[in-house]
Structure 1
Amino acid sequence: MTRSVWLKADDEVGSWEDRKRRITAGLEAGVDWVLVDEEDVDRVRELGAVNIAAFGGDDVHVMEAEDDETTADATIIGKDGEGDGTVDLPPDFSGSADLSAIRQDGDQPMGGYVRILDTEYETFAEEVARDAEYTIIIGSDWQIIPLENLIARIGEETELVAGVQTAEEAQTAYETLEIGADAVLLDTDDPDEIRRTVEVRDEAERETLDLQWAEVTAIEQTGSADRVCIDTGSLMDHDEGMLIGSMSRGLFFVHAETAESPYVASRPFRVNAGAVHAYVRSPGGETKYLSELQSGDEVQIVDTNGKTREAIVGRAKIEKRPMFRVQAETADGDRIETLIQNAETIKVHTSNGRKAVTDLEEGDELLVYYEDTARHFGEAVEESIIEK
C-alpha cells in the first residue's frame, strides 16, 4: 500500500503568511498533498510542485479551466457543512444522504471531509466513502475506535485520510488494525513535526527483508572486469549497503564504503558493487543490471537487519579492476555467486561482522538475500531459468 501525507493549510491556520510558512515547510519535508481553500490554489502552485486539494462548497461545481495550474487536483466538500468542519449530516439521517456534490459527473476527483462526533457520523462517513475518491475523517474525543471501525468497513473504493496532529498519531493511523489509513491529514505548524511525519510515511512503505546466511564454498582471483561503483545522493550508515549478485535469486550484502583506512578516505555515499553484469536490488523488489544504472535511478539501501530505504543514484562509475569470484551455498543447498573487486576497501557482512573480501575464506558465512524465483527484465516470474 502506498501511504501519503496531506498537510492542512486552509484559512483556519491563519493569514496567508502563516499558511505560506506551513506549506513551505511541507514542501521542503516532502508532503504529498496540501489541503487549502480554493482561493489559495494558484498561490500554492507558485510555491512548488505538490498535489493540491481545495475545499469547495457542498454545492460545488467542477469548473472546466483552460489553465490547469489554477485548478486543484481534487475538490473536498464538507468544510462548511455545520460550521465546525463537518460534512452536513442530515437531521433525519437513516442510512442514506444527499451526496450529489460528490456524485457529480466530472474528471476532477472529489472528496468528503467528515468530523466524527458519534456513531451516526461514522455511518455517514461510510456513505461518503462509497462515492468519494478521498474520505477525510477528523476525530474529536475518540480517534482510534472510529478509525478502526471505518478501516474494517471501508474497502478500496476510497482513499481513507485520517486527521492527525503529530508524527506519533500518524504512525498509529498507518498501523491501525495492521491495515492502516491510506493517508494522514496533518494539522501542525511545527516544521520538525511535519518532517517526522513524512519520515513515518516513508518507514511505513519500506520493505523489511528476511536475510540469511550462506556459506562460502569458493573464492578465487579472476582476471579484470568492468567494475561499477554506485555513488548515491545519500549518506549510508555503518551497517548499510546494497544487495548485489550474479544470480538474481541470491544477492550478497555488500557494505557501503563507510570505514576509514590509512590509504583511502571513507565514501559513505558509495557501494563498490561488482561487475557490470551483476544485479542490484531496487525498491519494490525489482532488480537492475549494474551496467544499466545512471544518474536519477533509484536503488535500494538495506541494513544488516533487513530494513530498507531508497536512494537516488548520482552516478555509476565504471572502471576496469581485478576481481574475485565468490561462491556460496544457501541453507537450501543452492549455489549462488558474484564477482566483486579484489580490494581491501570492499567489505561484506559475515556471521563475525564486517570483513574485507581480501580476507574471505571458505567456510565463512555471508549475509545474503535469497528467493527461489526467476526474473524476466527484473520482474519476478513463475518460470524455469537456469543461471550458472
Structure 2
Amino acid sequence: MTRSVWLKADDDVGDWEARKRRITAGLEAGVDWVLVDQRDVGRVRDLGQVNVAAFAGDDVHVMDAEETEQAEADAVVVGKDGEGDGTIDLPSDFSGSADLTTLRRTDGATGAYVRILDSEYETLAEEAARDADYTIVVGEDWQIIPLENLIARIGEETDLVAGVQTAEEARTAFETLELGADAVLLDSDDPDEIRATVDARDATQRERLDLQRATVTAVEQTGSADRVCVDTASMLEHDEGMLVGSMSRGLFFVHAETADSPYVASRPFRVNAGAVHAYVRTPGGETKYLAELKSGDEVQVVDTDGNTREAIVGRAKIEKRPMFRVEAELENGDRIETLLQNAETIKVATADGRRAVTDLEEGDDLLVYYEAVARHFGEAVEESIIEK
C-alpha cells in the first residue's frame, strides 16, 4: 500500500501569509497533497509542484483562462461548512444529505470531509466512501476506535485519510488494525512535525531485510578491474551501506565510507561498491549492475539490522583499481562471492564489527543478504541459472 501525507492549509489556519508558511514547509518536507480553500489553488501551484485538493463552495474572483486552469484542483472536497463538519445538522435520512448529493454531482476526483462527532458521523463517512475517491475523517481528540471501525468497514473503493495533529498520531494511524489508514491529513504549523510525519509515511513503505552470516572461505588478490564508487545525494549513517555481489542470490553488506582513516577523510555519502559487473540492490527488491548506475537513479541503503531506505545516486565513479575476490559460505552450504577494491577504506560488517577488506581472513563471519532466486534484467524469476 502506498501511503500519503495531506497538509491542511485552509482559512482555519490563518491569513494567507500563515497558510503560505505552512504550505512552503510542507513542500520542503515532501508532502503529497495540500488541502486548501478553492481560491488558494492557483497560489499553491505558484509555490511548487504538489497535488492540490480544494474544499468546494468557496467563492472565486472572475478569472481569465490561464488563471482558471491554474485554479483547477486535483480533487474537490465536500463537507466543510456543511453536514460533514457539523455546521449543518445531519438529516434524519442520509439519502437527503446535501453533502452527499454535491459529492455525487461533482465531476473528477472527489473527497468527503467528515468530523467524527458521534456514531452518526461514522455512518455518514461510510456512506460518503461509496462515492468519494478520498474520505477524510477527523476525530475529536484523535480517537482510535472510530478509525478502527472505518478501516474495518470501508472497502478499497476509497482512500481513507485520517486527520492528525502530530507525527506520533500519524504513525498510529498508519498502523491501526495493521492495515492502517491510506493517508493522514496533518494540521500543524511546525516544520519539524511536518517532516516527521513525512518520515512516518516513508517508514511504512520500507522493506526490512533478513540479513544473515556467511563464513569467509577465500580472500585473494585478483589484479586490477574497473570498480564503481556510488556517491549518493544523501548523508549515510555509520551503520548503513549497500548490498552488492557478483551473484544475484547472495549480496554482501558493504559499509558506507563514514569512518575517518589515516589515509583519507570520510565520505559519508559514498559506498565503494565493487566491480562494474556486480549487482547492487535497488528499491522494490530489484537489482542493477553497478555499471548501469547513473545520476538520478535510486539505490537501496540498508543498515546492519536490515532496515532499508532509498537514496538518489549523485554520480557513479568508475576507475581502475586493484581488487580482492571474497568468497563466503552460508549455513546451507552455498558459496557466494564478489570483487571488492583492495583498500583499507572499504569495510564490511563482521561478527566483530566493521573490518577493512584488507584485514579479512578465512573464518571471518560476514553480513550478507541471501535469496535463492535467479534474476532477469534485475527482477527475480523462477528459472535455473548457474553463477560461478
TM-score normalised per structure 1: 0.94
Q: Summarize the alignment of residues 91-170 of structure 1 with structure 2, pairs less than 5 Å apart.
A: 91-93=92-94, 99-104=100-105, 106=107, 108-141=108-141, 143-170=143-170
2:57 — aligned with what? Answer: 57
C-alpha distance in 2 between matches for 1:105 and 1:38: 14
1:341 aligned residue: 341
- Please name the residue that 2:243 is paired with: 243
Structure 1 SS opposite 2:177: helix
Give the match for residue 77 of structure 2. Answer: 76
**Deviation readout 1:18-53 (Å, 9 max, x if unpaired):** 101111111111111100011000000111111100
User: CA 1:68 to 1:88, structure 2 compared with 1: closer, same or farther past 3 Å?
Assistant: farther
How far residue 68 of structure 1 moved from its aligned partner, in angstroms, is 4.0
The answer (yes or no) to whether the contact 2:84–2:99 under 8 Å persists in 1 is: no
Alignment CA distance shift 1:42-1:105 (3 Å): closer
Distance 1:132 1:31, change over 3 A: same
Q: In the TM superposition, what are the counterparts of 1:235-384 in structure 2 within 5 Å?
A: 235-384=235-384
* One-letter amino acid matched to 2:43: R
Inter-CA distance 378–79: structure 2 relative to 1 (3 Å threshold): same
Q: Which runs of 5+ in 2 are unaligned?
A: 59-64
Q: How much has 1:240 moved relative to structure 2?
A: 0.7
Which deviates the most, 119-128 or 345-354? Answer: 119-128
Given that 1:78 and 1:87 are in contact with CA atoms closer than 8 Å, whether structure 2 keeps it comes out as: no
Aligned-pair distance for 1:191? 1.3
The alpha-carbon distance between structure 1 residues 195 and 105, as it changes in their structure 2 partners (threshold 3 A), is: closer
- The code of the aligned residue for 1:80 comes to D
**CA, structure 1 residues 37+98, in 2 after alignment: closer, same or farther (shift >3 Å)?**
closer
Question: Which amino acid is 1:315 matched to?
Answer: R
Give distance in 1, aligned partners of 2:338 and 2:224. 14
* Residue of structure 2 in register with 1:29 after alignment: 29
> How far is 1:119 from its partner?
1.6
Note the alpha carbon deviations across 1:96-155, whole angstroms, 9 max, x for none. Answer: 99734333473x211111111112211221111122110100101562001111111122
For residues 279 and 225 of structure 2, the distance between their equivalents in structure 1, rounded to whole angstroms, comes to: 15
Q: 1:142 to 1:253 in 2, by over 3 A?
A: closer
**How far apart are 1:256 and its partner, in Å?**
0.4
- The 2-side partners of 1:102 and 1:22 are apart by 28
* Code of the aligned partner of 2:2: T
What's the CA shift string for 1:149-186, capped at 9, x where partnerless?
A: 11111222111100000111001101111111111000
Offset of 1:238 from its aligned partner?
A: 1.1
1:42 equivalent in structure 2: 42
The 1:85–1:309 alpha-carbon spacing in structure 2 relative to 1, beyond 3 Å, is farther
SS in 2 for 1:177: coil
Match of 1:4 in 2: 4
- Letter of the structure 1 residue corresponding to residue 71 of structure 2: T
Structure 1 residues 97 and 78, CA, compared in 2 at 3 Å: closer, same or farther?
Answer: closer
Contact kept in structure 2, 1:96 and 1:127, CA below 8 Å: no
Query: Equivalents in 2 of 1:152, 1:86: separation in Å?
Result: 27
Identical aligned residues as a percent: 80
Paired residue for 2:182?
A: 182
Change beyond 3 A, Cα 1:35–1:86: farther
1:247-274 C-alpha deviation (Å, 9 max, x unpaired): 1111100000111111111101100000
What is the distance in 2 between the residues matched to 1:382 and 1:126? Answer: 43
3-state SS of 1:99 partner: helix
Distance 2:271 2:12 in 1: 48
Aligned to 2:208: 208
Q: Which residue number corresponds to residue 19 of structure 2? A: 19
Looking at structure 2, the residues matched to 88 and 280 of structure 1 have their Cα atoms a distance apart, in angstroms, of 59
- Of stretches 89-98 and 225-234 in structure 1, the one that deviates more from structure 2 is 89-98
Deviation at 1:365, TM superposition (A): 0.8
Relative to structure 1, the CA distance from residue 100 to residue 353 in structure 2 (aligned partners, 3 Å threshold; closer, same or farther) is same
TM-superposed deviation, 1:333:
1.7
State how many pairs are aligned.
383
User: 2:82 is aligned with what amino acid?
Assistant: G
- Indicate how the Cα distance of structure 1 residues 146 and 217 shifts in structure 2: closer, same or farther if over 3 A, else same: same
Q: Give, in whole Å, the separation in 1 of the partners of 2:263 and 2:80.
A: 63
Mapped to 2, the partners of 1:178 and 1:372 lie a distance apart of: 29
| Preserved CA contact (<8 Å) 1:229 1:271 | yes
Any idea what the Cα deviations from partners look like across 1:73-115, whole Å, max 9, x if unmatched? 1111111214846797422338999734333473x21111111
Is the CA contact (8 Å cut-off) linking 1:87 and 1:112 kept in structure 2? no
CA distance in 2, matches of 1:57, 1:321: 66
**What residue identity is the alignment partner of 2:249?**
R
2:194 is paired with a residue whose SS is helix
Q: Match of 1:61?
A: none
Query: How far did residue 69 of structure 1 move?
Result: 3.0
Two-structure CA RMSD over aligned residues (Å)? 2.2
Q: Could you tell me how far apart the structure 1 residues matched to 2:192 and 2:183 are?
A: 19
1:62 paired residue number: none
